Structure 1
Amino acid sequence: MQTMKNKNSMCGLKRFFNYKKTPMIGSFGNSSSHHDGIKTIEAVKSCSFSRKPDLCIRIITWNMNGKVSYEDLAEVVGKERKFDLLVVGLQEAPKTNVAQFLQTASSPTHVLLGTAKLQSIQLYLFGPQNSHTLVKELKALRHSVGGCGGLIGRKKGAVAIHINYDGIKMVFISCHLSAHAKNVDQRNTELRHIANSLLPRDKSTRDLTVWLGDLNYRIQDVSNRPARSLIHNHLQSVLVSKDQLLQEAERGEIFKGYSEGTLGFKPTYKYNVGSSDYDTSHKVRVPAWTDRILFKIQDTENIQATLYSYDSIDQVYGSDHKPVKADLCLKWINN
């Protein structure tokens, strides 16, 4: 009887959220099944290229909550190194030399090519051994948001790395936006300011743009108990329709023309540190997908892109956020 009651309760929740999802599969095509602002891309498991991709990139974002351990960073980097470039964006990074830990974790296969820092907002770019000769251009930029330029308390803002790697021009932006569910408009404004500051107006200067970070968008108009009940029953996909980031994109406010993998993993915030249990403190935060990776191919006629994974790294316990990773491969179509 109790089981039937739970099933009926879950069905009622699903009807309430009016959930609908029609992801595109694999590459960035001209499908009409997408949000007005963000195309939802379902990661593929096998290679769709007839030849080896020209460039494979692993992208990782993690809010570290001011703490660090080599074991956590080694888990974040991973042992499987099928990628060419490794991009690691960190928020609330501690003052410890994180770069040294990351370099140790990524060796001997990869070396540090570039960094960008704005206090606790950091971005690291690694490439294969002896890949420096493939770097034609590299520069780092940063932009603060908030009062006093973010000098008081934990800084909000973004850092960026612009790189021409083997003829592919890319921009990676790691950002940390304002917190709390009510501050949607503020986050939208911050994104616009960051884009105006860190992205060149001439779109021909980049082939790929990637945003990663703690964007801090929350679940809209859903209280803690129903949200956690859905997640507990592996129905977190029902919450996607209430995700503020996707809602704002549908309104055309942010990330027009960008793509993101399907949110098939559990919300990455907020956890009890040291566990995979959601927040049990007095704050009792509603779980949310605060940590995201979005990307845009500027020249879709000449560059084909395939997303091979988009997932959280649940085996990391040192923060109240779980890291998120994406594997993206690019190929010149006309080569």
Structure 2
Amino acid sequence: AKLQSIQLYLFGPKNSQTLVKELKAKRHSVGGLGGLIGRKKGAVAIRINYDDIKMVFIACHLAAHANKVDQRNKELRHISNSLLSRDKRTRDLTVWLGDLNYRIEDVSNRPVRSLIHNHLQSVLVSKDQLLQEAERGEIFEGYCEGTLGFKPTYKYNVGSSNYDTSQKERIPAWTDRILYKIQDTNNIQAVLHSYDSVDQVNGSDHKPVKADLCLKWIYS
């Protein structure tokens, strides 16, 4: 599934086609005058029924900048209504991932970088806009996320693991996230084995994030 630079791919084991009963892709754009100004924001989604587990994966790119919290919340609602509203009761797992662009609130650049340098980034978790908005009930109701134990994934100098040294000197933030929701926890159990960034990848001003999530049927 693709929407300009937003791309989502699913991979599975060889000879698993017989386990796939449904496979659909959708997309939804927000803002940017359809991509005529800057990079288009929005989301792409893949819906799949694999071995009788109905899953929806959504990759999105939301509005940038620290002062755009309300706009990001609004974009999430629009995307959710467009891509999820019709099949709310018929999916077992929903996964959101991508550059959600939520920033660190009310902490200036130098203290943020100092805490990260001293491996104290956990102090900043309470200032994360996404977690603040979720706690207020504005976004991601019922969703789970692993602990933000890794360093903020944005913004780096491309080709290095050094935070932005350009004139703008963006404040580091956990812009890149993976969240998931189990619709019926009585039937399916989700175990998150790991949630981390991949610091060795230097081809972007972001560090990618990975999650190892295991699903298990619960038999009564």
Asked if these proteins are the same fold (TM beyond 0.5), I'd say: yes
Q: Structure 1 residue aligned with 2:129, among 230, 241, 244?
A: 244
Cα contact 2:32–2:41 (8 A) shared by 1 = no
Give the aligned CA root-mean-square deviation in angstroms: 1.0
Cα contact 2:32–2:39 (8 A) shared by 1 = no
Residue 220 (1) aligns with residue 77 (2): no
What SS is found at the alignment partner of 2:145? strand
Residue 314 (1) aligns with residue 203 (2): no
The one-letter code sitting in structure 2 at the alignment partner of 1:194 is I
Structure 1: distance between partners of 2:30 and 2:213:
29
Residue 256 (1) aligns with residue 141 (2): yes
Residue 206 (1) aligns with residue 91 (2): yes
Q: Counterpart in 1 of 2:187?
A: 302
The one-letter code sitting in structure 2 at the alignment partner of 1:122 is Q
Q: Structure 1 residue aligned with 2:14, among 105, 110, 129?
A: 129
Unaligned runs of 5+ in 1: 1-115
Greater Rg, structure 1 or structure 2?
A: 1
The one-letter code sitting in structure 2 at the alignment partner of 1:287 is P
What SS is found at the alignment partner of 2:94? strand
Q: Counterpart in 2 of 1:185?
A: 70
CA drift of 1:180 comes to 0.3
Q: Structure 2 residue aligned with 1:155, among 18, 23, 40?
A: 40
The one-letter code sitting in structure 2 at the alignment partner of 1:282 is Q
Q: What do the CA deviations read for 1:12-51 (whole angstroms, capped 9, x no partner)? A: xxxxxxxxxxxxxxxxxxxxxxxxxxxxxxxxxxxxxxxx
CA drift of 1:127 comes to 0.6
Q: What do the CA deviations read for 1:220-246 (whole angstroms, capped 9, x no partner)? A: 011010000100110000000000000
Relative to the length of structure 2, the TM-score reads 0.98
Q: Counterpart in 2 of 1:82?
A: none
CA drift of 1:171 comes to 0.2
The one-letter code sitting in structure 1 at the alignment partner of 2:186 is E
CA drift of 1:149 comes to 2.6
Structure 2: distance between partners of 1:276 and 1:153:
26
Structure 1: distance between partners of 2:5 and 2:87:
29
CA drift of 1:132 comes to 1.2
Q: Structure 2 residue aligned with 1:266, among 146, 151, 155?
A: 151
What SS is found at the alignment partner of 2:8? strand
Q: RCO greater where, 1 or 2, for CA within 8 Å and sep 6 or more?
A: 1
CA drift of 1:273 comes to 0.9
CA drift of 1:151 comes to 3.7
Structure 2: distance between partners of 1:153 and 1:284:
20
Q: Counterpart in 2 of 1:92?
A: none
Q: What do the CA deviations read for 1:149-189 (whole angstroms, capped 9, x no partner)? A: 33432110000000000100000000000000000000000
CA drift of 1:133 comes to 1.2
Deviates more, 1:147-156 or 1:241-250: 147-156
Residue 145 (1) aligns with residue 30 (2): yes
Q: Counterpart in 1 of 2:169?
A: 284
What SS is found at the alignment partner of 2:12? strand
The one-letter code sitting in structure 2 at the alignment partner of 1:301 is N
Q: What do the CA deviations read for 1:239-297 (whole angstroms, capped 9, x no partner)? A: 00000000111111000100000000000000111111111100101000000000000
Q: Structure 1 residue aligned with 2:118, among 228, 233, 246?
A: 233
Q: Within 5 Å, give how 1:20-59 maps onto structure 2.
A: none
CA drift of 1:147 comes to 4.0
Sequence identity percentage: 86
Residue 119 (1) aligns with residue 4 (2): yes
Structure 1 runs of 4+ with >4 Å offset: none
Q: How many residues align?
A: 220
What SS is found at the alignment partner of 1:241? helix
Q: What do the CA deviations read for 1:188-239 (whole angstroms, capped 9, x no partner)? A: 0000000000013442210000000000000001101000010011000000
